Structure 1
Amino acid sequence: MGRHKQRPLRRSLVLATVAFISLSALVIGLVSVFSLQSILLNRIDRQLVEAASRSAAAVGPSTPESDSSPDFIGSQGQSIGTLGAVRIDGSVVIGAYLDQKLDSPLLSSTQLEQLQSEDVGQRPESVYLGSSLGNYRVVAVPLNHRIDIIVGLPLYEIEATISELVLVVAIVALGALVLSGVGAYGLVRLTLRPLERVTAAATTVSTMTLDRGDVALAVRVPDDDTDTQTEVGRVGLAINRMLEHVSNALQARQRSEDKVRRFVSDASHELRTPLASIRGYAELTRMSGEAIPDDAAYAIGRIESESRRMTDIVEDLLLLARLDEGRQLDDAPVDVTELVHDAVSDARAAAGDHEWLVDAPEHPVMVSGDHGRLFQVVMNLLSNARVHTPAGTVVETALAVHEHDGTSVAEITISDDGPGIDPDMVDAVFERFVRGDSSRARSTGSTGLGLAIVQGVVTAHGGESSVTSEPGHTVFRITLPLMPSSAV
């Protein structure tokens, strides 16, 4: 079964209010109509009893002939429309009614049969006598054991009154329905304004970037909407308290991150000098010309190698710390076409066991930025493809210019047909210290900082970085805004 679709609260309240008022109007209208109908029927029944008494008095002790007109309907006091009929031995033999001219037209055979079929008794009841006469309220008055007279009064006045009442009730109900709908909409909208302001505050917070940087979470629900006497006020107050806790947590996180960044930056600065000294002394010892045992020479070589690797790590950490601090990079024209060709050429020289392809335009593609850092970005991506794919892997570097979100960008894609990235790691590859080889042995020599530097440098240039991967096809993609003169 599909999930029931929820209606907006405003619409639900308006519909509920209008439905309740409509139901109330319908009940009131029906009660009014049936009550009036009952009152008018009781009144016509009393009039009918009086008319029957006058008719019986007019007939007197004599027995009407079966073929004579029932003259008693024209007796003094009878109203226009009064009906009279004679029933002998259960058969209605003749009948007439008093018209506007005070004449007494006879009832048709069909109307007589209708009267007879109803078996009119001494209690008033309604009878339909065709379209010409309509509904009548009739009653039988026995004269003797064989003969009855039937007396009736028309119901058209009652029916007309009821019809008018139904029309009035319908018009009033429709008007009330429209007014209630407009009023309910206005009232609900006015009542829900505090909730809308609370929603606006929550929406504003939901669009803020809270996962990084120094976040100034100053958004709060207005004080007027935090009254604990109202339901919305309690929600607003709870949201403000929650935002206060979140703000404190973000500030604590930022202070912690700032301490870590300062530590990394300071440690990187401090480590550069002793690392340079270690490397220098090792090189000096190796170049002294004195005879050194083989195991000592091997140890000195390892010291040089590891000091160079540690220096690279320190430089990467220092670069990330500077990017975190928001320090500006160089801002000069950079030909991305030339940069891509140079980077692929260096990668081809470093790893001849891979197949390196380039797909770039012949003309220069210019961006504004730091040439050295952008070259490092491409080299890091190519090195990542070299380290994490086997020999014989085809690595293609492509450069294209197109529109992205309304801006002209240079897009660099580096794709390979290697084994791909573990699906559990795809979303985390640009985080720091995330390595494809997760073991402590670092068999690939990776520090887990290369792709973090890629993202940091690209972001600092106003670009974006992304990756998609599946077995046999991994694509790293970066976009950089073009210089205005190079826009397509």
Structure 2
Amino acid sequence: MASDIAIARADPLPPGEAEPRRRLKRFGGSRLGGLILALNLLSLLILFVGALLLNEWSRGLIEARQETLTAQAELLVRVLGDERIGVTRGEPTPSLDPIEASRWLRDNFLLSGQRARLFDIDGIPVADSFDVTEAIPGRPLPPALSAGTPPEEVDPAVEVRNAADVEQARAVLGAEVEQALGGEPQASLRRSESGDRVVSVSIPVRHVRQVLGVLTLEAGDVDETLDAQRRALMPFALVALAVNLLGSLLLHLFVARPVMRLSAAADEVRLQRARAISLPDLEHRKDEIGDLARSLETMTETLSDRMDAIEAFAADVSHEIKNPLTSIRSALETLPLVKTPEQREKLTLLLQQDVRRLDRLITDISNASRLDAELNRDRPRTIDLTVLLSEIVGVYESGLKPGEAHVAFAPSAGDHVLVVGRDGPLGQVFRNLIDNARSFSPPDGAVRISLVRDEMDPDRPVRVRVDDDGPGIPPENLETVFERFYTARPRGVAFGANSGLGLSIVRQIVEAHGGRVRAENRPGPRGEVAGARFEVALPTAPPAGRRP
């Protein structure tokens, strides 16, 4: 049986202590989601900032390089345009002397990593700093092959492509020089004949206002500088990778593994190795995993309590049914031995009484077993308790028989008292209480129903009281009367007319509606017991526009 299975659960909340209200969490109501979002955004932000810094750095570097080359080129063209150094001549026609220009560049321009080229008015190169220095353009030659090694075959397509690249680089340079010959300085980032990226400026050489040629300065250290910048970006990328790895590890530790543990605990419950999930280290977490663990624990505890209640109910039903069955069997066994008609009639009446008792018991057990399904099937709605009680009392008064107790209703709480619940089960609560009070009332007595408010209890301010004039309830049985199959009837009531489930059903329905029911004895004028009182406390309906 289920009761033989081990139960693993955390300590429940103390009686009367409400579950703490969950605090408002950040990041859209999710702490765990906020952690995931923050880690991912942090890694992306690191990469984004690094990329911005690299782009800005590269752009600033190129612009600064162009400004430096422009300043150098403007200084050089002012010197080249001065007749006193002999590079340019103004008589009879302004012109450049290519021999003097080459000699002057050799003697005055030997900067490492830069190349100066001078073009005449027709765009024809007349001087190149690489021609007058030891610098050799292009990439270093590969190491020499050992003796006897056949030369590597050259792909004609590669040679054609390289030649096309050289021609394209020369065409771009020619276009730049052509624009500079128009009198406007030019600056660009282009490919050289060797395929390297270079920062280039082209400044017109003037004699007075006459353009005599163009001086082009190139700096070919752009790729090396950008490579250094890329290497500088690597720490950002490594940090972003580390943050992503850390985020993945945290997700595994704080999400994946706890979910796997919860799944394993649920499997333990499913396989009946435990009756409840209990993972205290997860239940104390303040994120969604903790909420899930607490919800699963509460759910399994509720199911476990429900199973215990079903087992206890089944045991009580078995015990209560056996009593009339035993009585019927004894009567049937005795019936053949009866000699006189009076004894036979008495035994037959006893059988009929046991059959009625058994029928009433089975009917009440069936109603009690369907109660949970009815409570879960019907949706709660706003109910006017004044109208509901008036209708119930009207039905009793219209079918009143001689000698039965009258039922009176006094709506002292006001015209309309609204509660949220299910009208069918709530109606059954008050009918059971009225039936119980009438059964204890003297002939032609009265059962009084009052509807009041108790502002001292803001959670359950609505009070419905059912008073009778019966003998009252023994003090030790004020709680026992709500147990299943408890029957302590007054003298004169037919045996077996009550199953003892009415007040148990009342408590079950009232607690399902968030209420409370209790029993007490009403004192008389001289302190004696004047009768019994059952009080039902219910929460009032929330104001319109608010959800319960």
Per the TM superposition, whether the score is higher than 0.5 is: no
Q: Which has the higher contact order (CA 8 A, sep 6+)?
A: 2
- With the shorter chain as reference, the TM-score category is 0.3 to 0.5
